[in-house]
Chains A and B, each alone.
Chain A
């Protein structure tokens, strides 16, 4: 069995490219802020992020380390300790506000309606319990009436579903007996055991090799098509979001600086930071460039976020805005249908710069 390989071209072909659906979004985040009070000052990890997500769609959140993408996902999952984190704003899941709801209510939802896949499956799984025991626990917490036997059958079924060979035997293995890719599959099985409606994958493939990454991305795509859940995928890898996401949200310094459908975001990015990200990554699908074009400087501190646009100290076009970049906070405005960006540069000017200077280099 294992020596059989298939080309995934046909699997890619029927990937759902559904247009943005109308109606109420399944998850709606409004002006989410997560601040941490530390000895050094207030860390504004997430500072006013809003987005909507419909069932059956995938949102990709992209950003560098410290941009607030993981903190956003932990806030949705209700995994911040309330004493340490000041969370304001609104997170509506199917109309119910999770921030206003108590921790008990969120605990009921977590694992059943909301599930998460973590980056490093070795630290996210308990080394002391077998993989099966951990999946069974996740199932029985939300299905108290299920017998041990039923729960175990369900665990085996899920392991089979995520492509683990001989699931009835491997269910009794410990996490260390699994390879990295299999552990990530087991964690996906654990996340999906209660058929969640919202799945958050935080850097699900960062710790994996490319060949395994391709397998896992395919798996997530297939499972979403099958279960119709909403998926948030958080990553720093633009290649991964391009493979999976319908919509993309780019974060910088705790804020959303650009948001739009995947195609337009890659074809006609609006924000200079997004240009910088695209320009600084070497790409296999393009002619080799002599030199990469890095974004100068380093990501901002979240304690002393630069005034005005947080990106202005690194932005090559900041002086074209007549000083507004450093004094005035840019707001997200619609630059193209469904495509928003927070930049002071006039839209026409941005399009000119992109067409003349950026696009030829990409």
Chain B
């Protein structure tokens, strides 16, 4: 028996069209009213979401304070400020420690570019005083050919860890339009 080619794809097309069209089609009577029970369940789930979020907030805060006490807490964030550049790999190390490497999917790479958001790469406990940070990255322009060599660079800097939590913002950017993409470091601390 001859079957329609890929009926599931066609069914999805129906979903797209139906989502944009009004409820019901040509009908004599008014469409049915929403189910009150369904609305009640929706409201209950919205309240539960709130409670689960509060729970997560409290649990994350306690876990963070336990694992990374404020006097030693050091957080590293990465941001990308070059349009169309998708970061693929990123590695980071403190002092003489072993580098930690992170791989990014294209979607994760694109998320950096949407609203200049930062991704927290890691948290570590560092004693107050000077520390060396080393970072490497590999990136690729979104329109690059597969044969094009990836954009890579290395970064190294010293920063002074204070007695309070420290946030390190590494930004992948370039100083001029023709300069090679590289990382810069900005150190943040919070006002209390």
* A-B interaction: no
Residues of A within 8 A of B (CB): none
